[in-house]
Structure 1
Amino acid sequence: MLAVAPAALLVAGCSAGSEGSGASGGSRPSAADRARARAARDSRELAERYDAVVAAHPKLAERLRPLRAEVVRHAEAFGETADSSPSPSLSPSSSGSGSPSASASAGVPAVPAKEKDALAGLAAAERELADRRAKALLDAPGELARLLASVAAAGAAHVYLLTEA
């Protein structure tokens, strides 16, 4: 019996350390690392959706610029590289085609022809992502959970700003 206890402690110690650290050479990323990467990817995809809306509706660029910039900062906070700098399509001098199909790219839904519908689509995307993040934070470790909660709250604020006249 005494021989089993040290062996059990050794096994428990080895498995606990490799699960959460993410630093074990060559093994799968930890659940927290995967959640962080997924959150960064989700923010990057949301920024691309903002780009598509602005490409289809250039008049919305000024209104959407600060929201998109915040979404990019969220991606960076989750570990995304800074290659998602503000898009040229968000500059006031950009010339958008105004055609919803011209802005649709792989992975980004087509942008509705009406500005109001395009804003509603962005609001729905923000709401869905905020809801997913609120659920994900329940299983995330401390610091990541706080970041997910903060970004989910920001997403909820974006929904409000996108749906208010």
Structure 2
Amino acid sequence: MPYPPPLRAPSGPRRRSLLTSAAGAALLAGCSADPDSAGSGGPSATARARARAARDSRALLERYDAVLAAHPGLADRLRPLRAQVAAHAAAFTDGATPTTATPASPSPAPVPAAEKDALAGLAAAERALADQRAKELLEVPGEPARLLASVAAAGAAHAYLLTEAAK
């Protein structure tokens, strides 16, 4: 048995019209020239995130250099991971050439005397930075978020490899 037609036509806009209008408004709002600038005249959230990530990668690179200076026997294990950290720093600074040479003076951060403890310290630093980047990627759009996610995943893998090497 078919349903009878409604007695009166609904007044006001239909639900489909409202949804279409809302979707259109959202698209128009997303088409601004720089969604991060918010008219402040300062650097965008994306630029600040990239600068912070580059600075953090350089600090981690210094930490690798300090461990390598204190424990040259770890060079074969740490050299590939250090090279990736240098590449990450370069990626965050718009593709500048990564640092490949070890500086003459190690970082002022103290390096544990035992290799196992030095590796555990590097693993903890990698893990903390990967966690920080995983949180920060939610604050930036598109490509910078993908870059942060990729580098965070690499950092988590480094932490795992360093933890396994310290056993």
Q: TM-score range by the shorter chain?
A: 0.7 to 0.9
Partner of 1:32: 46
**Deviation per CA, 1:125-146, whole angstroms, max 9, x where unpaired?**
0000000000001111111111
* Aligned-partner residue type, residue 17 of structure 1: A
The amino acid across from 1:149 in the alignment is A
State the match for 1:71 in structure 2.
85
Shift of 1:28: 1.1
- Report SS of the residue matched to 1:55: helix
Please state how far the C-alpha of 1:87 moved relative to its aligned partner. 2.3
What is the count of residue pairs matched by the alignment? 135
CA distance in 2, matches of 1:31, 1:136: 10
Task: Select the structure of larger CA radius of gyration.
Answer: 2
Q: Distance in 1 between matches of 2:157 and 2:90?
A: 19
The answer (yes or no) to whether the contact 2:138–2:145 under 8 Å persists in 1 is: yes
Q: 1:1-165, aligned counterparts within 5 Å?
A: 16-20=32-36, 27-79=41-93, 81-82=96-97, 84-88=98-102, 103-105=106-108, 109-165=109-165
Give a deviation string over 1:45-87, Cα, whole Å, max 9, x none. 10110000000001011110000000011111111632x5212
SS of residue matched to 2:41: coil
CA distance in 1, matches of 2:126, 2:54: 14
Could you tell me which runs of 5 or more consecutive residues in structure 2 were left unpaired when the two chains were aligned: 1-27
Cross-structure match for 1:93? none
Relative to the length of structure 2, the TM-score reads 0.72
Structure 1 alignment gaps of length 5 or more? 1-11, 90-95, 97-101
Q: TM-score, normalized by length of structure 1?
A: 0.73
SS of 2:36's equivalent in the other structure is helix
Instruction: Summarize deviations over 1:93-143 as a string: whole Å, max 9, x none.
Output: xxx9xxxxx8442xxx21000000000000000000000000001111111
Q: How far apart are the structure 2 equivalents of 1:139 and 1:18?
A: 14
What letter matches 2:150 in structure 1?
S
- The one-letter code of the counterpart of 2:132 is R
Structure 1 consecutive aligned stretches of length 4 or more whose deviation exceeds 4 Å: none
Distance 1:103 1:113, change over 3 A: farther
- Superposition CA RMSD, Å: 2.5
